[in-house]
Amino acid sequence: MQFFGGSEISPSPPVPTASGNNAHMIYVFNRNGVCLLYREWNRPLHTLNAQQDHKLMFGLLFSLKSLTAKMDPTNLDKGNLGVPQLPGQGCSFHSFRTNTYKLSFMETPSGIKIILVTHPRTGDLRDSLKYIYNLYVEYVAKNPLYTPGTPIRCDLFDTTLDQYVRSIA
Amino acid sequence: MAAIYSLYIINKSGGLIFYKDYGSSGRMDTNDSLRVASLWHSMHAISQQLSPTTGCQGIELLEADTFDLHCFQSLTGTKFFVVSEPGTQHMDNLLKVIYELYTDYVLKNPFYEMEMPIRCDLFDINLTQAIQKDRVALLGR
Amino acid sequence: MIGVSKMKPYTNVLDRPLSKGKLEVSLSAFAFLFSELVQYNQTQVDNIAELERRLEDAGYAVGARVLELLCHRDKGNRRETRLLGILSFVHSTVWKVLFGKVADSLEKGTEHDDEYMISEKELLVNRFISIPKDMGTFNCGAFVAGIVRGVLDSAGFPAIVTAHFVPMDGQQRPRTTILIKFAEEVLQREARLG
């Protein structure tokens, strides 16, 4: 039997930028700030409980987005600071780096935010995030048993994601 | 084309003490720059809380779609950050140079009050020179 | 040195004179100390003229001591007695000891006979100092003016010494001129000496 589209995920995964296990954690938020997914691979330090941690992360991303939208030096009309931006509207950011970690960020047109925290010297992960989004579309969005806006519980997604993240970072 | 769009210096409690624009479109007014500065101050602090490992000192580089933001924090908590074109190199060095100018021409000035806005002619003059020099170096590269 | 001919060998390390060592002082250390001096004096005064006077007084004490030291060390316990002699002593010897270089220029005033000017493109004490706009023509060089007055006064050349910013063509920063106005008795004595 031949299905239209096939089960193969269309774009092939980007070439790994690093080897070894230096990915720290991944967050997936929807546009309302609900944490759909949180996984950690290597996180020795927990300063807050899980719920507060997710809230803080979402708040950070929200504020950084309004900061970058306001700061955008190439745009004349930037609106007011702190006004909520629609996904894709205004100048956003794709990563930031501290001395202990690098956070890569992607927002999809539907407002899904994917955050990957890795070793500070990891290279550009924009393509990898796109690939993770692809996995989400394939295994979560297409899963009839998944109710949008609830935490993701799909084994297939989990295992593929785990494999992929281990391979890139 | 400007390699550097703007420079901010914020004191240890998040107050903007110096802001200079080097040609970004839609220059920010005083209120906005003050708010951006204090927002950055708290984002910097939150980023330390979210670190997966110990010893995090806050955001050093933020890569946005149309600009890069390089930040340097001195041991006393004063933060210096420049907004530059994406991919501009050697901003860390420039920030160190600016920090040095700050220690020389601001902190050694008897008429400067700590944590207050910087109004020192000598700092302005030397800063302009340093940024000019940086630009020339960039062009030569 | 006193009693050089009868030098006896020192037996104990504690009896030996201190070595001259490096004749350098950290510029930062000086800048911070001077900055504190200005800040402290600022808290003690309520107008700029008074601040200027206090800085000058602080310098005066330095000048008096510097003269003593240099006469002893460089001049073999002699001092200058003529006007031009003492001026060039200030311009070169004193400047060299205090600031590590000879002053940029020494000129005679064009309008008055009793006025002389020592100018410096960038006075060491002003290296890191930006004067706020609301302080007008105030110049921290008042401290150096005080030193000059201290030297001249102690050497028997009473004078009024003031520091001024003088704008220069094609330069962003004005230079500092130390204006020396000698007392009348000095000029009369100078005329008698011929």
Can you read off the two tokens belonging to residue B74? 């001195």
**ipTM (interface pTM):** 0.86
Reported as a pLDDT band with limits 50, 70 and 90, residue A2 is: very low
Give the model confidence (pLDDT) of B116-141 as tens digits: 999 999 999 999 999 888 777 766 55
Taking CA atoms, what residue in C is nearest to B123? C130
Q: Kindly indicate the confidence band of residue B30, based on its pLDDT and cuts at 50, 70 and 90.
A: confident
* Chain B interface includes A26 (CB < 8 A): no
Interface test with B, best of C40, C126, C129, C134 (most B CBs within 10 A): C129
Q: Which pLDDT value is given to residue A45? A: 84
Q: Would you say B15 and B116 are in contact if contact means Cβ atoms under 8 Å apart? A: no
Going from the C-alpha of C181 to that of each of A20, A163, C6, C86, the distances in angstroms are 79, 87, 45, 14
For all residues of chain A together, what is the average pLDDT?
83
C164 domain-assigned: yes
Q: Does B13 touch chain A (CB under 8 A)?
A: no
What's the confidence (pLDDT) of residue C19? 60
Looking at the domain assignment, is residue C85 inside a domain?
yes
Query: Which residues are paired to A40 by β-bridges?
Result: A25
Cβ <8 Å between B63 and A96:
yes
Fold of A23-70+85-168: Beta-Lactamase (3.30.450)
- Asked if C31's CB is within 8 angstroms of B111's CB, the reply is no
- Cβ pair B122:C31 closer than 8 A: no
Type of residue found at C140: C
pLDDT at position B46: 92
Number of domains in chain C: 1
Q: How far apart are alpha carbons A67 and A61 in whole angstroms?
A: 10
* Contact across the interface for A73 and B24, Cβ inside 8 Å: yes
Contact B50 A60 (CB under 8 A): yes
Q: Which residues in chain B are contacts of C42 at CB distance < 8 A? A: 110
Q: Does chain A reach chain B with at least 3 CB pairs under 8 Å?
A: yes
- pLDDT score recorded for residue A59: 92
Structural domain boundaries in chain A: 23-70+85-168
Q: Does domain B4-140 have CATH number 3.30.450.70?
A: yes
Nearest CA in chain B to C173: B122
How does pLDDT run across A50-87, given as a tens digit for each residue?
899 999 999 999 999 989 988 888 877 777 777 777 77
Question: In the block, which residue shows the tokens 């100092």?
Answer: C129
**Are the Cβ atoms of B54 and A45 closer than 8 angstroms?**
yes
CB contact under 8 A, A47 and B43: no
pLDDT for A7 equals: 46
Residue A48 has what pLDDT? 85
According to DSSP, residue C52 is labeled H
pLDDT at position A14, please? 58
Nearest to A91 among B6, B32, B64 (CB): B64
pLDDT for res A117: 92
Confidence of residue C137 (pLDDT cuts 50, 70, 90): confident
Average pLDDT of C13-17?
A: 65
C194/B86: higher pLDDT: B86
- Identify all chain B residues contacting C132, using CB atoms and an 8 Å cutoff: 111, 119
Give domain limits for chain B: 4-140
The pLDDT of residue C18 is 59
CA distances from B124 to B15, B101, B130 (A): 19, 9, 10
Chain A hits for B26, CB-CB cut-off 8 Å, are 75-78
Of B100, B83, B104, residue with least CA distance to B19: B83
CATH of the domain at C177: 3.30.1380.20
